[in-house]
Amino acid sequence: MDVRVWTAASPLSGRVRIPSDKSMSHRAVIFAAAADGVSHLRCVLDSADVRSTLDAVSALGAAVSILDVTADGLTLEVAGWGARGPLEPKAPIGCGNSGTTARLLMGLVAGWPVEVAFTGDASLSTRPMLRIAEPLRAMGARIETAEGGTLPARVKGGGLAGIEYLSPVASAQVKSAVLLAGLRARGRTSVTEPARSRDHTERMLPAFGVPVETEPESLRVSVAGPSVPSSCELCIPSDPSSAAFFVVAAAIVAGSRIHAARVSLNPTRAGFVRVLRRMGARVLEEGFESLGTEDVATLHAEHAGALRATVVGADEVPGLIDELPVLALAATQAAGTTRFEGIGELRVKESDRLEAIRAGLAEFGAAVRAGDDWLEVDGPASLQGCRVSSLGDHRMAMTWMIAGLVAEGETIVRDAEAVSVSFPSFTDRLRELGAGVEAL
């Protein structure tokens, strides 16, 4: 599916319904599947990636019932396998495009005496899995991957021992996979990261009855095994990464005012807000409250005039890794040169996002330069409508639709169906705010 976007003829205005957080939805389903008893989960994101996780845990023996489907997401009842452990599936677990599904479940099944194969689509099958396989092997799991350390992979689990793992990358997926394996390992399992990654796993596991020790100064997180989660009730807040597209749209489309309720403002996810404020954007938070294991608030974003360039340092990147494409777009409208440092992790996302950003912004006529792990964007730029591909990457598809709102003329975003991975209703939400968008 292609999408046509016209230059915004008027300000974007109104309240936008942001879908539930994808990272938290995956974790809630996976932890509930591993728990003793029946968990009740509300507002679970209904997207292609999360559906992959639902199918995967069902194949491993969890009983998943979809009780309701609404605009707020899925209401689920999940009867977990608990102390009996997962079943050995008869066929490979298909993870679709979801790296979270593959990596977290590889960690989860590694502690049980089962053999499980994992596959993915063409994009997921290019993404690195050795970063998961190596620590799990150190714990005692037997893991085979394709040549190059990618999917398909096969995990033969059981008999694990806890380890002190020094992760070479700040990755919530790596951290979560090792901690989940640690639930079945003898003794203590710890993960120490080079920078702070998103912390949904360590926030959510205690809700499922699993104690987690966190040491913020040393960036170490630990669990003690063996441990079996217990069922719970949980509601998933709105996704800050999805909200970021509308916050940037408000910041760059003159006169715009947009409001988004119940957005998670977890400190490990709100880095994009801090960067945009530094650039001069007006983003306000109102009505903080607790929802499940997270703090949420309503975000108010409005156009406040010209933006200014900034430097995004490597230490900030783990807290805004998914928002980098749309922040780079914001940089095209900022006076000066914005530099993003330490962003090499973008090269192993759903696409080579670093190259996708560089090439796509250049198609729109922006002045942009990139190296192995850095990006520079000059602004302000007069963007021109163009034909640009999402490369099958949901975040690139959404970024280019927002770009079309400030580009002169007509923009065609190819392969825009990729948004179904995290935000299936994205084009509908844009239209409700007054944007000129149509599916072709």
Q: Compute mean pLDDT per 10 residues along the chain, 440 residues long, and list them.
A: 97 97 98 98 97 98 98 97 97 97 98 98 95 98 97 97 97 97 98 96 98 96 97 97 98 98 95 98 94 93 96 95 97 98 92 95 98 97 98 97 98 97 96 96
68 included as an active-site residue: no
209 shares its domain with 274: no
The domain tally of the chain equals 2
DSSP per residue, 38-74 = EEEEEEE--SHHHHHHHHHHHHTT-EEEEEEEETTEE
Residue 140's pLDDT is what?
98
DSSP tag of 197: P
On the CB side of 58, CA atoms within 13 Å amount to: 13
Q: Single out the residue of 66, 68, 156 nearest to residue 116, CA to CA.
A: 156
Go through 24-43 and write b for each residue having 16 or more CB atoms within 10 A of its CB, e for each that does not: bbbbbbbbbbbbbeebebbb
155 shares its domain with 283: no
349: β partners: none
Q: What residues contact residue 231 under an 8 Å CB cut-off, 6+ apart?
A: 32, 35, 36, 37, 38, 39, 78, 80, 208
Scanning the structure block, which residue is given the tokens 């700040």? 170
Scanning the structure block, which residue is given the tokens 């509930």? 32
Q: What's the chain's Rg over C-alpha atoms?
A: 21
31 shares its domain with 132: yes
Q: Are 198 and 319 a contacting pair, CB within 8 Å?
A: yes
Q: What gap in Å lies between CA 54 and CA 65, rounded to an integer? A: 10
Of 235, 252, 272, the position where a domain reaches its end is 235
178 shares its domain with 256: no
Residue 373's pLDDT is what?
96
259 shares its domain with 314: yes
Residue numbers of the domain that contains 193: 22-235
CATH number, position 173: 3.65.10.10
Q: What gap in Å lies between CA 359 and CA 295, rounded to an integer? A: 37
Q: Are 11 and 435 a contacting pair, CB within 8 Å?
A: no
174 shares its domain with 32: yes
Of the residues 46, 199, 322, 393, which is catalytic? 322
253 shares its domain with 169: no
278 shares its domain with 400: yes
38 shares its domain with 149: yes
Of 235, 268, 290, the position where a domain reaches its end is 235
E-strand stretches of 342-424: 368-370, 374-379, 387-389, 410-414
Of 235, 269, 287, the position where a domain reaches its end is 235
322 shares its domain with 421: yes
81 shares its domain with 171: yes
Residue 88's pLDDT is what?
97
Q: What gap in Å lies between CA 223 and CA 248, rounded to an integer? A: 38
Q: Are 251 and 307 a contacting pair, CB within 8 Å?
A: yes
134 shares its domain with 253: no
Residue 351's pLDDT is what?
83
